[in-house]
Each structure stands twice: as C-alpha cells, then as structure tokens.
C-alpha cells in the first residue's frame, strides 16, 4: 500500500509540474491535464528540466550566486526529475523486479520510478492489419492460340484487422478478422472470416502453449501471408493449391525454440475429404473452424533451423484421417488418411532474397473419395500431389543503406501437379500439370507499403494455360 501511495504522490507531483508548465510555457495552454498525453508530459518535463539546469549553470557562474547548499539541492532535484522522465519513457521495464520498496526508494533518490503506472494503465490492446488489391489482365489467347475466354478483373482481395490483447506477461490473445473481395452479402463473392483467434500461454522461449483457431504451421506463406512478405502480386500457386493458404483449423499445441531450432506442434481438427477436388487438391477440404466436423483429428508440426540471422531452413508435416465418418454410396467407411510435408528455405542477405519450397501430399482411399463425390475419369482426386518453386529478388536500392525505400525485381518458377498420381481406374488430367514463370518488380516506399507489377507465363500439359499481367498494392499497419 505504501508503494502505491508513493507512486500516486510522485505522479501527482509530476502532473502538477507538467500542468504548471502548460500554464506558463506550454504550446496549448488551454489543455486540461486529463487531455495531456504521457508523451506531452515527458516533453514538457524535459523542457522544464533543461531550463532548470540552465538556471543552475547560471547560478554557478554568477559571483553573487546561491550558496553551495542551494546549488546542491537544485542539482539533486534535477537528478530526481531526470530519473522520473526516464521512468516515464521506459515504462514498466523501469521497475526493479526483485528489490524491496526500501531499496527501490534508496536507488531512486528518495522517490520511486513507477510514476508511469499512475499515468498509464497497462496497455493491453494491439491493433494492426493489412490489405491488398489485385488487378489481373489475362491474355486473350491460351498457350495453344485459342481464345482464353478470360476477362480482366480488379478486386480488393483482402482487408484485414488484427486485434490482440495482452492479459499479462503470460497470456495473450491474437486474432485476425478478414474481409475478402470487398463485399460480403447475398449474391456477392465476398466473405467475412476469422482467420485466426488463439490464446497463447507464454512460459519461455523453450515451451509455450497455443490454443484456438490456429494457422497450420506449414510452408512459408501460410503463417506469414501479409502482402509485404509475399513479394509477388499473387501468392505462389504451390502455396495456394498444394499447401492451401490460408489454412487454419481449431486445436491446441506447443511452440518454442531451443538453440538453433524453432518448432511448433499442434493437434487440430482435420480436413474433410469430401471437399477434395482434382484441380484444387486438398484446398476444398479446409474446414476453417466453421462448424467443423470433428470426427477425425490431425497432427501437424514444423521444425526450422534459425541459427543464422537471415536464414530459415525447415520442414513441416501434416497427417490425419480426413474421412470425417463419411461413407460411400456402397457403404464403405472413408478413412482417407492424408499426409503432407514440405521442405522450405528462405535466405536474406544484404539486398538479396531467395526462397524455395517443395511440398507433397499423399491421400489414401482417393478412390473412395471419388466414389463419394461421384468423380469419374480424369475428375479423380489425386492420390499424390506435389509442387515446388524457387524465387529470387534483389533490392537494387540496397546500395543506399539509409534509404527506407526498396525496389525489388523478382523472378519465380514453380511447378505443380494435383494429380501426380491417381487411383487405378482413373485418369490424370494434363491441365493439372502446371508450371508458372513469374517475372516482376515490387516497390516499397516504406516497409509497410508495397506496389507490385508482374507477368506470369502459365503453361500446362494440356496447352490451355493463359498468361497474365498482374498489378497489386498492399499495406500493413
């Protein structure tokens, strides 16, 4: 109680000093104390302190100056004010954690440093977000020269709000609310979705617990899908189809790191094989935490080497049955065990940025899924699906190290096939054997804004691929 009273007293003194400054010298004298922010108080206290120090210097220089005792007293007060301003600036970290009140008092020249706790409540809410818009200009003809039939489109792909709340040093809530395609209404393509909403219990770097609607810990894009991190106008196809970003499920798990390794491991709701398709792979099987069928559960995890700054190398895995208690028309229960993995690397060195990924998914009982969905011929779900890509970019403005702008020409090549293998009795569709070359340039006027222009050569084994120009803008805050 004594500690609290002491803080309130100190805070009152500082408030009074700050308010007095406003009354005498402040830039906005009409401001009421309640409207004065901590930053403004600090600025005014600093000004007051500087003036006082000048007065002390003048007194010291004056032959008819004050007595040594008076000067010493003024200097002592300056030190106290300096300590208080430092405490306000640094905030809670200024508070000694393991010393008694008496010790603290001694250490702070007779007054504590915790005035910040009088002025400011513990700030627990964090707000952020991102958004991106995309213009797509597909070619009029496909790779065989036939009319593509595709039309230009411009879309505000995503507007996202992050809301976080830090309950204390251990418990944190983190959420992402997403609006897709601008309008979510009857007859519109848009939707509103909770992309993630999880609670973290943070114990240590080694071991922490996460539970809720979590992003699956796979690949390079799924967990880090903000437009400024994904450099091209469109995310890599491999990380949209083979690894179906943004992929989230409800569950719980642990994460942390030790030495040069970082890990995450979750138990979550599984995919629903009823949504698997020939061209979309497992993407349609995501349940997204929306009244998800929980007959089958899945394990997922990743392990990354993080021992070298700028380098990330790792693997991830997902495995679980995905039948969700469905039965074929002939009465056979579908287990549809699905196991996927990826190997990934990301390396940033000076202005150079390289990344690459290989992913593969194997699905058992794809024939039963086909029977369940009525798929025949080349409509079969792939019993094995895989894809890979490599990407390189270079910030040509890295020659100006103090520039906040970045200009990154980039190139990416990817290849994937959602029907690498199909069950006996079914056929592969060559249109699903796809390769994409992307060449473009991204401009970041500041870290949090990005403008992208790229050209994609899209080819498939059926010769029906359609090239496209893409223009995008993105922001994070």
Partner 1 sequence: MNRILAVAAAVLAVTATDAKVFLSQEEALKLAFPAATVERKTAFLTTGQQRAAQALSNDEALPSALVVYYVATRDGRTVGTAYFDTHIVRTMPETIMVVVDPAGRAARIEVLSFQEPEDYLPRPRWYGQFQGKPLNDELSMKRGIRPVAGATLTVRATTEAARRVLALHEVIRRAPVGEAASP
Sites for partner 1 among residues 134-193 (CB under 8 A):
164, 166, 169-170, 172, 174
Give the angle 304-307-311 at the CA atoms, nearest 5°: 70
Nearest to 207 by CA among 170, 255, 169: 255
Residues 380-399 that bind partner 1 (CB under 8 A): 395, 397-398
Q: Is the dihedral of CA 118, 122, 126, 127 positive or negative?
A: negative
Residues 6-35 that bind partner 1 (CB under 8 A): none
CA distance 436 to 122: 50
* Cβ-based neighbours of 468, under 8 Å, separated by 6 or more: 136, 137, 138, 139, 455, 456, 458
Task: Single out the residue of 123, 151, 185, 331 in contact with partner 1 (rule: CB under 8 A).
Answer: 123
Least Å distance, CB 50 to partner 1, is 6
Least Å distance, CB 280 to partner 1, is 27
- How far apart, in Å, do the first and last CA atoms of the chain sit? 40
* Cβ-based neighbours of 3, under 8 Å, separated by 6 or more: 101, 112, 114
Which of residues 106 and 141 has its CB atom nearest to partner 1 in the complex? 106
Q: Give one DSSP letter per residue of 328-340, joined into a string.
A: -TT-PBP--EEEE
Which of residues 122 and 327 has its CB atom nearest to partner 1 in the complex? 122
Which of residues 126 and 146 has its CB atom nearest to partner 1 in the complex? 126
CA distance 116 to 89: 8
Task: Single out the residue of 192, 204, 291, 331 in contact with partner 1 (rule: CB under 8 A).
Answer: 204
The window from 147-155, 201-209, 283-291, 455-463 that contacts partner 1 (CB under 8 A) reads 201-209
Residues 418-477 that bind partner 1 (CB under 8 A): 447-448, 477
Which of residues 46 and 150 has its CB atom nearest to partner 1 in the complex? 46
| 200 touches partner 1 by CB under 8 A | yes
Q: How far is CA 227 from CA 131, 286, 365, 410, in A?
A: 7, 22, 37, 15
| 85 touches partner 1 by CB under 8 A | yes
| Residue corresponding to tokens 């970003």 | 245
Nearest to 134 by CA among 453, 476, 467: 453
Give the β-pairing of 468-476 and 406-421: unpaired
Task: Single out the residue of 194, 199, 202, 462 in contact with partner 1 (rule: CB under 8 A).
Answer: 202
Task: Single out the residue of 346, 417, 420, 435 in contact with partner 1 (rule: CB under 8 A).
Answer: 346
Residues 224-253 that bind partner 1 (CB under 8 A): 224, 226, 228-229, 252
What ranges make up the beta strands (E) of 203-336? 208-215, 248-258, 261-269, 297-305, 311-321
| 220 touches partner 1 by CB under 8 A | yes
Residues 281-300 that bind partner 1 (CB under 8 A): 297
| 58 touches partner 1 by CB under 8 A | no
Give the angle 24-25-30 at the CA atoms, nearest 5°: 75
| 254 touches partner 1 by CB under 8 A | yes
Residues 260-279 that bind partner 1 (CB under 8 A): 260, 262, 267
CA distance 150 to 86: 62
Which of residues 2 and 123 has its CB atom nearest to partner 1 in the complex? 123
Q: Report the Cα 298 to chain-centroid distance in Å.
A: 23
Task: Single out the residue of 4, 20, 50, 58 in contact with partner 1 (rule: CB under 8 A).
Answer: 50
Which of residues 397 and 453 has its CB atom nearest to partner 1 in the complex? 397
Task: Single out the residue of 78, 199, 343, 441 in contact with partner 1 (rule: CB under 8 A).
Answer: 78
| 77 touches partner 1 by CB under 8 A | no
Which of residues 212 and 423 has its CB atom nearest to partner 1 in the complex? 212
- List, in sequence order, the alpha helices (H) in 356-418: 366-373
Q: 17 and 2 in contact (C-beta within 8 Å)?
A: no
CA distance 247 to 226: 14
* Cβ-based neighbours of 98, under 8 Å, separated by 6 or more: none
Task: Single out the residue of 403, 427, 445, 463 in contact with partner 1 (rule: CB under 8 A).
Answer: 403
Which of residues 198 and 375 has its CB atom nearest to partner 1 in the complex? 198
| 327 touches partner 1 by CB under 8 A | no
The window from 196-204, 385-393, 421-429, 457-465 that contacts partner 1 (CB under 8 A) reads 196-204
Task: Single out the residue of 348, 360, 415, 464 in contact with partner 1 (rule: CB under 8 A).
Answer: 348
| 94 touches partner 1 by CB under 8 A | yes
């Amino acid at each position: 109680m004594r500690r609290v009273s002491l803080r309130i007293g100190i805070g009152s003194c500082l408030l009074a000093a700050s308010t007095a400054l406003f009354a005498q010298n402040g830039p906005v004298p009409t401001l009421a104390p309640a409207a004065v922010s901590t930053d403004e108080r600090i600025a005014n206290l600093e000004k007051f302190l500087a003036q006082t120090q000048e007065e002390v210097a003048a007194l010291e220089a004056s032959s008819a100056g004050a007595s040594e005792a008076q000067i010493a007293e003024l200097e002592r007060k300056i030190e106290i004010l300096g300590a208080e301003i430092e405490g306000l600036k640094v905030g809670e970290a200024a508070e000694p954690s393991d010393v008694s009140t008496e010790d603290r008092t001694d250490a702070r020249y007779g007054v504590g440093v915790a005035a910040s706790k009088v002025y400011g409540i513990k700030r627990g809410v964090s707000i952020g977000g991102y958004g991106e818009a995309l213009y797509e200009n597909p070619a009029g003809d496909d790779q065989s020269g036939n009319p593509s039939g595709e039309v230009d489109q411009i879309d505000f792909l995503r507007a996202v709000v992050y809301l976080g709340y830090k309950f204390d040093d251990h418990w944190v809530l983190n959420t992402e609310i997403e609006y897709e395609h601008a309008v979510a209404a009857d007859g519109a393509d848009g939707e509103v979705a909770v992309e993630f909403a999880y609670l973290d219990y943070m114990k240590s770097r080694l071991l922490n617990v996460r539970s809720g609607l979590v992003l699956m810990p796979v690949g390079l894009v799924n967990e880090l899908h903000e437009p400024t991190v994904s450099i091209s106008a469109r995310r890599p196809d491999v990380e949209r189809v083979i690894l179906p970003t943004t992929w989230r499920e409800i569950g719980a798990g642990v994460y942390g790191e030790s030495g040069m390794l970082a890990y995450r491991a979750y138990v979550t709701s599984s995919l629903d094989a009823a949504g698997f398709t020939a061209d979309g792979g497992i993407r349609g099987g995501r349940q997204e935490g929306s009244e998800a069928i929980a007959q089958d559960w899945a394990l997922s995890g990743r392990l990354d080497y993080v021992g070298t700054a700028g380098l990330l190398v790792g693997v991830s895995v997902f495995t679980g049955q995905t039948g969700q208690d469905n039965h074929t028309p002939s009465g056979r229960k579908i287990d549809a065990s699905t196991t996927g993995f990826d190997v990934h690397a990301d390396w940033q060195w000076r202005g150079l940025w390289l990344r690459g990924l290989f992913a593969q998914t194997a699905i058992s009982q794809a024939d039963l899924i086909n029977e369940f969905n009525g798929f025949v011929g080349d409509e079969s779900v792939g019993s094995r699906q895989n894809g890979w890509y490599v990407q390189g970019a270079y910030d040509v403005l890295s020659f100006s190290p103090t520039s906040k702008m970045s200009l990154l020409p980039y190139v990416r090549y990817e290849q994937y096939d959602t029907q690498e293998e199909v069950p006996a009795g079914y056929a592969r569709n060559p249109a699903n054997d796809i390769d994409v070359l992307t060449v473009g340039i991204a401009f970041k006027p500041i870290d949090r804004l990005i403008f992208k222009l790229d050209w994609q050569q899209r080819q498939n084994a059926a010769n029906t691929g359609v090239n496209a120009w893409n223009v995008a803008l993105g922001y994070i805050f």
